[in-house]
Chain A
Amino acid sequence: MREHTLQVNHLQIAFRTGNGLVQAVRDISFRLEKGRTLAIVGESGSGKSVTSRAIMGLLAPNAVVEGGEILYKGKDLLKMSEKELCKLRGDKIAMIFQDPMSALDPIMPIGKQIAEAMVINGKLSPADAKNKALRLMEEVGIRNAKSRYGKYPFEFSGGMRQRIVIAIALAADPEILICDEPTTALDVTIQAQILELINKLKEERHLSVIFITHDLGVVANVADDIAVMYAGKIVERGTAEDIFYDPRHPYTWALLTAMPDLETTGKLQAIPGAPPNMLHPPAGDAFAPRNPYAMEIDFEEQPPMFEISPTHAAATWLLHPNAPKVALPKALAARIERMGQIGG
Chain B
Amino acid sequence: MLEVRHFTQVFGKFKAVDDISFSVKKGEVFGLVGESGCGKTTTGRAIVGLQPVTEGKILFAGKPIRKKHPTTQIQMIFQDPMASLDGRMTVREIIAEGLRIKGIKDRKILDEKVYEMMALVGLSREQASRYPHEFSGGQRQRIGIARALIMEPKLLIADEPVSALDVSIQAQVINLLQDLKEKLGLTVLFIAHDLSVVKYFSDRIGVMYMGKLVELAESEELFQNPLHPYTKSLLSAVPIPDPRREKNRVRIPYEPACSDPAAAFREVTPGRWVMS
Contact = CB atoms under 8 A, between A and B. Distances in A.
Which of B197, B241, B244, B251 neighbours the largest number of chain A CB atoms within 10 Å of its CB?
B241
Given A191-B237, A262-B223, A270-B175, A342 B195 contact: no
Contacts of B242: 220, 244, 261, 339, 342-343
Contact of B238 (A188, A256, A343): A188
A313 interface: no
Nearest to B36: A187
Interface in B78-128: none
A241 B234 contact: no
Which residue of A187, A188, A215, A290 has the most chain B CB atoms within 10 A of its CB atom?
A188
Contacts of A190: 35
Interface string A249-279: 0000011101111101101111110110000
Contacts of A196: 251
A27 interface: no
A271 B240 contact: no
A219 interface: yes
B223 A195 contact: no
Interface residues of B, number: 39
Contacts of A265: 200
A274 B141 CA distance: 14
B208 to A, nearest CB: 12
Interface in A300-344: 339, 342-344
Contacts of A193: 251
A188 B234 contact: yes
A256 to B, nearest CB: 7
Contact of A244 (B167, B169, B199, B241): B241
> How many A residues are at the interface, by size bracket?
35 or more
Contacts of A343: 242-245, 248
Contacts of B249: 221
A43 B200 CA distance: 22
A223 interface: yes
A339 B239 contact: no
Contact of A262 (B36, B168, B193, B240): B240
B259 interface: no
B167 A43 contact: yes
B54 interface: no
B241 A220 contact: yes
B170 A259 contact: yes
A216 interface: yes
26 contacts: A43-B167, A187-B36, A187-B193, A188-B35, A188-B193, A189-B254, A214-B166, A216-B167, A216-B241, A217-B241, A220-B239, A221-B247, A255-B168, A256-B241, A258-B171, A259-B167, A259-B197, A259-B241, A260-B174, A262-B240, A270-B171, A270-B175, A290-B168, A342-B245, A343-B244, A343-B248
Given A220-B239, A255-B167, 11 more contacts: A44-B166, A189-B251, A214-B167, A217-B241, A241-B243, A258-B171, A259-B170, A262-B196, A267-B175, A268-B200, A344-B244
